[in-house]
Amino acid sequence: MMLFRQLFDPTTSTYTYLIADSEAQEAILVDPVLEQVDRDRTLLTELGLTLKYCLETHIHADHITGTGQLREATGCEGIVPEHAQATCANRFIKDGEVLRIGGVTVEAIATPGHTDSHMAYLVNGTHLLTGDALFIRGCGRTDFQSGDPGTLYDSVTQRLFTLPDTTLVYPGHDYRGHTVSTIGEEKRWNPRFVGRDRKNFIQFMDALNLPNPQKMMEAVPANERCGRAVA
């Protein structure tokens, strides 16, 4: 039986996801946050789960990953998307590759655009972890880390919006108190995409002029080392 938990870091508005097979007692953590490692380890212990993988959607700029500490504590594998700059990873996951824990499947779907190496993960065909490619009524920015708005538009419209409308959408962040949506909802109501063709989307994203994430200068290099700060 699949066990699925959505966990929140209020400082960076980051969602971490715990996916497990309760019979096999094995688990995956997606996008763990350094400051929440104790919370995550406590939950794993309480639920009687062995952490098998820490899985990243991308190299984050707004928080430092907890993968390094969790790997030292549990012996789990750290997995990042193919082509990501992370020399510390145990392995890289490719588009279409499937991770299995017990009877639970996690399929990688390449969704570049927010960064040049970004994956969404489809869990058991029903729960879609969209990372920063698609938010609830929004999407990730495209103005640094080799992001590209045209590429993001293609990723969302061709790889995610083609999934069944009932697919549950669980984003990497939310800043307005939303927790879950569906592909059908986002196709109908997401203002970044509704009524915009590729050209309009590029123009809109290029004009956002957003400030850099507060932790970007420390987070990106640390995450390229699986959470180890640069000395």
For 187-221, b/e burial (b = at least 16 CB within 10 A) is beebebbeebeeeebbeebeeeeeeebebeeebbe
The answer to whether residue 85 sits within a structural domain is: yes
**For residue 218, is it within any domain?**
no
CATH number of the domain to which 174 belongs = 3.60.15.10
pLDDT of 60: 92
Contact 132, 118 (CB under 8 A): yes
| 90 within some domain | yes
Give a yes or no: residue 177 inside a domain.
yes
Is residue 89 situated within a structural domain? yes
Q: Is residue 223 part of a domain?
A: no
119 in Cβ contact with 42 (< 8 Å): no
* Number of domains composing the chain: 1
Q: How far apart are CA 184 and CA 194, in angstroms?
A: 12
Pair 39, 7: CB distance under 8 Å: yes
User: What does each of the 231 residues of the chain score in pLDDT, given as a tens digit?
Assistant: 999 999 999 999 999 999 999 999 999 999 999 999 999 999 999 999 999 999 999 999 889 999 999 999 999 999 999 999 888 899 999 999 999 999 999 999 999 999 999 999 999 999 999 999 999 999 999 998 899 999 999 999 999 999 999 999 999 999 999 999 999 999 999 999 999 999 999 999 999 998 988 888 899 999 989 888 654
Q: What is the span of the domain harbouring residue 36?
A: 2-212
224 found inside a domain: no
CA distance 134 to 190: 9
pLDDT for 231 equals 47
Name 19's Cβ contacts closer than 8 Å, sequence gap at least 6.
2, 3, 4, 27, 28, 29, 30, 101, 104, 106, 123, 127
Both tokens assigned to 129? 């972890």
Amino acid identity of 43? L
**Beta pairing partners, 107:** 98, 122
Domain membership of residue 14 (yes or no) is: yes
> Is the CB of residue 6 less than 8 Å from the CB of residue 177?
no
Judged on CB neighbours under 10 Å (0-12, 13-18, 19+), 20 is: buried
Q: For residue 122, give the 3-state DSSP assignment.
A: strand
